[in-house]
Structure 1
């Protein structure tokens, strides 16, 4: 069975044009089927401030009202996505930019209001792979931003880590899927101040222990939740760390295992 790499980039890689350009130049050289998923970095927040639109965060997550959704769509599906596609084309990697609405690829449902109303935030219900399979077999690389849709004309802000995880799961019947979460750290760290304290392997049992001990906290928890959800749903291998780990397995990184 052929291997498919699903690679998500975020954090400071998106915010730093030089780091992003370097990553995309290397990504273009990767052989075989691949899908790229990107976050939004700080652009949406910066644009909101320029337009005097208040950015509201609750429990570390962005609240997406109608005005914020407009900005996110412009930033994620527009400027960031198209710049990434253009850079890949410049490196002889044929790519097409996607939101979940394009080709009806990712369908979500607006998150129900419970203790917190997150606004126009989508929880993924279905990934349609038919269009993507055609492109992949034509050696065209899909590049996904963090926007999905509900099939009723509504766009929804959707966590990019979750999009990567759901794409990886959706393709796991036809490919041996490797899922990579790339950001500016060398992996999951025992101490956030110590870049050398990389946890090489995390199992489900380890994960619960690290949370109880307060070693894994905050934004790393939803990322790892996506990892363990994917590994339980036939995704072959999952790695977290700096982008260079994709090209050199000796570089420190974290591996996720059942």
Structure 2
């Protein structure tokens, strides 16, 4: 039987408030078994961009990354966000190791070709170095990935953190029974965005198509759910969306994504 591995993605907004980062790091540290973390940092990157006179651009929940925006992403994702989170986890007794896709050639990507939209220095993942990530896990480390990959030719690439989490979960499903957990500020996917209690317990493709047609799913949730379905198709065992409390035993308020 394959050992269980939990891949947890956390939004960068949780790093902005001490109470939120503390509650998340406590829940993540208490999570039993092998685990790894993927984090964002978009909110702080947007704030820093404004301070530097760089106007951020986002299309359908995905960030346009020109050369100036890439510098900001590297500073925030690979620097402030990653090391702040690693330090907090170490304070909780969780032996986290901060990483980008370039470290140990862990995640290789290619620059997205320009089409109707030129996303700039945005990476589409080509491969996950499963043996190297497995070696870190089995050595007792908890990998903490920021939203940066590389092309193997010296170019860093901004890569959607949800996609990184999904591709890590899919690749590592070769060796582990993987479950993917997307943590954000709400308790799950909501039927009514104005009602925080309207959590949808399960969403399959048919339900997703209906919710999208009704306009109940939009903006940043669209690419997140797309990644969820792709992960399941590639062998990930379970996928959940919810607040960090869903990491705790016995907590059942979240949304499960099914094919």
TM-score, normalised to structure 2, is 0.96
The residue aligned with 1:210 is 211
The residue aligned with 1:52 is 53
Gaps of 5+ in 1: none
Residue 14 (structure 1) shift: 2.9
- The farther-off stretch of 90-99 and 18-27 is 18-27
The residue aligned with 1:66 is 67
Give the total of aligned pairs: 258
The residue aligned with 1:90 is 91
Residue 249 (structure 1) shift: 4.0
Q: Is the 8 Å Cα contact of residues 12 and 39 (structure 2) preserved in structure 1?
A: no
Q: Residues 249 and 205 of structure 1: is their aligned pair in 2 closer, same or farther, counting only changes over 3 Å? A: farther
The residue aligned with 1:185 is 186
The residue aligned with 2:27 is 26
Distance 1:215 1:46 in 2: 28
Residue 233 (structure 1) shift: 1.3
Gaps of 5+ in 2: none
Residue 11 (structure 1) shift: 5.3
1:234-253 residue pairs with structure 2 within 5 A? 234-253=235-254
The residue aligned with 1:198 is 199
Distance 2:44 2:24 in 1: 19
Distance 1:243 1:41 in 2: 18
Distance 2:253 2:31 in 1: 20
Q: Is the 8 Å Cα contact of residues 11 and 184 (structure 1) preserved in structure 2?
A: no
RMSD: 1.2
3-state SS in 2 of match to 1:152:
coil
3-state SS in 2 of match to 1:42:
helix
Distance 1:207 1:46 in 2: 32
Q: Is the 8 Å Cα contact of residues 9 and 181 (structure 1) preserved in structure 2?
A: yes
3-state SS in 2 of match to 1:83:
helix
Residue 25 (structure 1) shift: 2.3
Q: List structure 1 segments (4+ residues) > 4 angstroms apart after TM superposition.
A: none
Q: Is the 8 Å Cα contact of residues 15 and 41 (structure 1) preserved in structure 2?
A: no
Distance 2:59 2:4 in 1: 38
The residue aligned with 1:110 is 111
Q: Is the 8 Å Cα contact of residues 244 and 251 (structure 1) preserved in structure 2?
A: no
3-state SS in 2 of match to 1:174:
coil
The residue aligned with 2:256 is 255
Distance 1:22 1:76 in 2: 21
Write out per-residue CA displacement over residues 120-169 of structure 1, whole angstroms, 9 at most, x where no aligned residue. 00111111112211111121100000000000100000000000000000
The residue aligned with 1:122 is 123
Write out per-residue CA displacement over residues 176-213 of structure 1, whole angstroms, 9 at most, x where no aligned residue. 10100000011111110011111100111211121122
Q: Is the 8 Å Cα contact of residues 8 and 35 (structure 2) preserved in structure 1?
A: yes
Q: Does 1:136 align with 2:137?
A: yes
Q: Residues 111 and 181 of structure 1: is their aligned pair in 2 closer, same or farther, counting only changes over 3 Å? A: same
Q: Is the 8 Å Cα contact of residues 14 and 41 (structure 1) preserved in structure 2?
A: no
The residue aligned with 1:17 is 18
